Structure 1
Amino acid sequence: MFTRRAFLATGVASTLSACLQPPEPPEAAAPPPPPPPLPAFYGAVTDEPFPIPAVPPGVVAPELWRQGVANPFPDERPGTIIVDPDAGFLHLVTSRDSAMRYGAGTGAAAFAWSGTARLQFARAWPRWKVPDEMIARRPELAPYSVANGGMDPGPGNPLGARALYLFQNGEDTLYRIHGACEPEYLGKAVSSGCIRLLDQDAIDLHRRAPHGATVRVLPSLLPKGLAALY
């Protein structure tokens, strides 16, 4: 017989069962928007002595793309190059009001260099002559020392498609502005001191930068502690 007690027990069980129902699944998150298309000048370069691959989409942030901007250094003469390692930018002053801005990889702690230098000369597809200081840290690079003539140009050469050589008081600083920056490291401080650009940008800067240009590398104000890749 269905008693009042049984009725109440059934009601309580039904209530508990309803409370224990699993929650509704959350709505699926919307997929992230596709990365913005890269400018055409970051495509593959096929008219150089060695092939330069296209920059992969979605790896380089748009603010690091080569672009004309308002000149943040209006007191500098046109042709001056200013590198801000903390921002990851290299500016080439084109007028009092405008500059060409490039994303740049810079030197890590203990390898960073700052100061004023002169663009002494530039080379297309340069040889990489490893300084003795680097060979002391990386003995496996001894075959590419200055005495051994350096590394042949080409896709495996860390200087990439172009190198701009920085001198102070007529002496080589051993620092360069050069290509071959891996896109994922653009804008970061991870190298052994040199200023690295995408090969497409190094070619563009080589074409624009005047011989004898002043190069200013601003001091980094970021905490130390990053290690150099090479």
Structure 2
Amino acid sequence: MLRRGFLKRTAAAFAGATLPAGRVLAHEGAAQAAVIPPREVAIAEGIPAGQIHVMPDEFALYWTLPGARALRYAVGVGRDDLYEAGTFLIQAKKEWPSWTPTPGMLEREPEVYGKWADGMPGGIDNPLGARALYLFKDGYDTFLRIHGTNAPSTIGTAVSNGCARLVNEQIIELYEKVPLETKVFLYPKVGMA
């Protein structure tokens, strides 16, 4: 499968489109942020249904459907130096997952992550949000996740420690659709090796 073919068809699907605003889950009493709802789009022929394709330069995640179609979700992605392209399998899924910063996160920003070195229980304040899909490669946990967020303003940005994030409402929807052993493609950022 060529990235160019996938992108050409998806770009054409959005030409001139105006998308209505949706809603996301937020803290009780907090203002609800408007976000782009998932949208069904045409993709290149020959891409199997039941896969996830993350296009970091578009801040888009595609859940492929039969008949050269996909659901397109808006996402936030990892910062340039932390984003990891590759092919992965989802080999764990969790609702309201707990979270522990990786050793790299603790080393880079101990003042931010040190208080959570022993972990943070799941819940609305947890950085993994309402659901998480765990990405594995060759049977090993990569510590990369597709997860929710309680910070909708981070959608459409490259600020995370390598993961792809959706608003909580949308990760809950995607979580229900995606089975274990789903193949995930994280495409390279343009200009990155």
TM-score range, shorter chain: 0.7 to 0.9
Asked if the contact 1:123–1:164 (Cα under 8 Å) also holds between the matched residues in 2, the reply is yes
Alignment of 1:157-168 (within 5 A): 157-168=126-137
Asked if the contact 1:181–1:196 (Cα under 8 Å) also holds between the matched residues in 2, the reply is no
Give 3-state SS (helix, strand or coil) of 2:93's partner: strand
> Are residue 219 (structure 1) and residue 182 (structure 2) matched?
no
Asked if the contact 2:151–2:167 (Cα under 8 Å) also holds between the matched residues in 1, the reply is yes
Alignment of 1:88-99 (within 5 A): 88-99=59-70
Distance 1:204 1:36, change over 3 A: closer
Measure how far apart 1:144 and its partner are: 2.3
Give 3-state SS (helix, strand or coil) of 1:201's partner: helix
Structure 1: which 5+ residue stretches go unaligned?
1-34, 224-230
Alignment of 1:125-164 (within 5 A): 125-140=96-111, 141-145=113-117, 148=118, 150-164=119-133
Aligned with residue 38 of structure 1, among 21, 30, 35: 21
Provide Cα deviations, 1:66-118, integer angstroms capped at 9, x if missing partner.
Answer: 11111x24323211000000011000001132111100100111111100000
* Equivalent residue number for residue 208 of structure 1: 177
Provide Cα deviations, 1:6-56, integer angstroms capped at 9, x if missing partner.
Answer: xxxxxxxxxxxxxxxxxxxxxxxxxxxxx98634xx2558xxxx8696742
* Equivalent residue number for residue 41 of structure 2: 69
Aligned with residue 87 of structure 1, among 33, 49, 58: 58
Asked if the contact 1:130–1:144 (Cα under 8 Å) also holds between the matched residues in 2, the reply is yes
Q: Distance in 2 between matches of 1:79 and 1:36?
A: 24
Measure how far apart 1:190 and its partner are: 1.7
Give percent identity, aligned residues only.
35
Q: Distance in 2 between matches of 1:75 and 1:82?
A: 14
Q: Distance in 1 between matches of 2:149 and 2:29?
A: 9
Asked if the contact 1:118–1:166 (Cα under 8 Å) also holds between the matched residues in 2, the reply is yes
Q: TM-score, normalised by structure 2?
A: 0.81
Q: Distance in 2 between matches of 1:102 and 1:130?
A: 26
- Point out 4+ residue stretches in structure 1 off by more than 3 angstroms: 50-55
Distance 1:117 1:52, change over 3 A: farther
Distance 1:36 1:174, change over 3 A: closer
Measure how far apart 1:143 and its partner are: 3.6
Q: Distance in 2 between matches of 1:38 and 1:165?
A: 28
Which one has the bigger strand percentage? 2
Q: Distance in 2 between matches of 1:133 and 1:92?
A: 30
Give 3-state SS (helix, strand or coil) of 1:128's partner: coil
Asked if the contact 1:83–1:216 (Cα under 8 Å) also holds between the matched residues in 2, the reply is yes
Asked if the contact 1:108–1:191 (Cα under 8 Å) also holds between the matched residues in 2, the reply is yes
Q: TM-score, normalised by structure 1?
A: 0.69
Asked if the contact 1:44–1:53 (Cα under 8 Å) also holds between the matched residues in 2, the reply is no
Q: Distance in 2 between matches of 1:53 and 1:66?
A: 23
Structure 2: which 5+ residue stretches go unaligned?
1-17
Length, aligned pairs only:
175
Measure how far apart 1:124 and its partner are: 0.5
